[in-house]
Amino acid sequence: MRNIRKGTGESRRGKETLLLILDSAKTILIEQGYSKLSMRKVAVGAQISVGNLQYYYPSKNDLLKDMLDHSIDEFMDEFERLRLGANNDPELHLKSIINFIVLDLGNPTTTTFYPELWALANHDEYADKLMDEIYARVRVPLEDSIMRLNPRLDFEQVQKVALFISSSMEGMTMFVGHGKVWNDSIQHMANIATMSFLQLVKNITPDDIQENSFELANHNG
């Protein structure tokens, strides 16, 4: 709630409407996509008038910002809980993170919200900055596990392996997410991911990363 009009949403009643608004906006984004998200629809969804909506969020952009913040906080809260209950064994910790993230893709909200965010980030500076922040935070526990499992890597290399693992999991969203063709296989995908990432982390050497590109695209056959 950082983008509301100053001195607003401070009473109990005000806070309730604020949540109704954010919930309505999120629901519309998820069910209909950003192109169908309008102030009027949000107002209807929150069962308030357009004027009242504008009292809280003078512009659509202000609403969008807060909605993104709010939606992402919900995920980060859950993720933080997972971090706190971290296992001392880095391998088990890594496994639990992988399982958590991949299975979370099956959540209907996650399945549709994040692709919207990625598309938005290509044209909206705020969404772009927000994305960087979330995924940087998601990578932290990954980096920690990788570092401990493979001391040969320097931090820059650890970062890149963590980035690979994290982005790799995100990519499954469009295929194993809720309602997607391969949704039934989501647990199998989590298994493959676990096995694959663990082997990667244990066996990768600095040379594997730095290795020069071999020219294949041009002279193959």
In the list a copy of itself, DNA, none, the entry touching 158 (Cβ below 5 to 8 angstroms by class) is none
Please check whether residue 71 is in contact with residue 113, taking contact to mean a CB–CB distance below 8 angstroms: yes
- Span 75-104, contacts to a copy of itself by CB under 8 A: 82, 85-87, 92, 95-96, 99-100, 103
In the list a copy of itself, DNA, none, the entry touching 100 (Cβ below 5 to 8 angstroms by class) is a copy of itself
2 lies in the site for DNA, by CB under 7 A: no
* Residue length of the chain: 221
How far apart are CB 126 and DNA at their closest, in Å? 14
Taking the C-alpha atoms of residue 160 and residue 39, their distance in angstroms, rounded to an integer, is 40
How far apart are CB 20 and a copy of itself at their closest, in Å? 23
Q: DSSP string covering 118-137, please?
A: HHHHTT-HHHHHHHHHHHHH
- Span 153-192, contacts to a copy of itself by CB under 8 A: 160-161, 163-164, 166-176, 181-182, 185, 187-192
In the list 1, 5, 15, 32, the residue contacting a copy of itself (rule: CB under 8 A) is: 32
In the list 10, 80, 132, 154, the residue contacting a copy of itself (rule: CB under 8 A) is: 132
Whole-angstrom distance between the N-terminal and C-terminal Cα of the chain?
58
Taking the C-alpha atoms of residue 99 and residue 46, their distance in angstroms, rounded to an integer, is 35
Taking the C-alpha atoms of residue 69 and residue 27, their distance in angstroms, rounded to an integer, is 15
81 lies in the site for DNA, by CB under 7 A: no
3-state secondary structure of 61: helix
The three-state DSSP-derived secondary structure of 159-213 is HHHHHHHHHHHHHCHHHHCCCCCCHHHHHHHHHHHHHHHHHHHHHCCHHHHHCCC
Looking up tokens 């100053």 gives: 6
C-beta of 50 vs 195, nearer to DNA: 50
- Span 111-130, contacts to a copy of itself by CB under 8 A: 111-112, 115-116, 118-123
In the list DNA, a copy of itself, none, the entry touching 138 (Cβ below 5 to 8 angstroms by class) is none
Query: Which of these segments, 44-52, 154-162, 180-188, 198-206, binds DNA (CB under 7 A)?
Result: 44-52
